[in-house]
Amino acid sequence: MNEPETTLEFAVDSLLEVLPSVWDRIRSNFRAAGTSKFGITLEQFHTLRHIYKGCCYTGDIAEKRQVSCSAVSQAVDVLVTKGLVTRAQESGDRRQFRLELTPYARRVLDENYMENRALIKQKIARLSREQRAIVVQSMEILKAVFISA
Q: Do 58 and 72 touch, CB atoms closer than 8 A? A: yes
Taking only the tens place, the pLDDT of each residue in 109-127 is: 898 889 889 999 999 999 9
Report field, pTM of the whole predicted structure over 0.75: no
How far apart CA 123 and CA 34 sit, in angstroms, is 21
* pLDDT the model gives residue 96: 80
Q: Do 74 and 86 touch, CB atoms closer than 8 A? A: no
Question: Mean pLDDT: which of 3-7, 12-16, 27-31, 144-148 is highest?
Answer: 12-16
**Fold exhibited by the domain 28-147:** Arc Repressor Mutant, subunit A (1.10.10)
How far apart CA 11 and CA 81 sit, in angstroms, is 48
* pLDDT the model gives residue 117: 92
Taking only the tens place, the pLDDT of each residue in 90-99 is: 777 667 889 9
Closest CA to 51 of 101, 118, 115: 101
Mean pLDDT confidence for 25-49: 86
Distance of CA 15 to the CA centre of its chain: 20
Q: Return the amino acid letter for 9.
A: E
How far apart CA 79 and CA 84 sit, in angstroms, is 5
How far apart CA 101 and CA 22 sit, in angstroms, is 28
Domain boundaries, the chain: 28-147
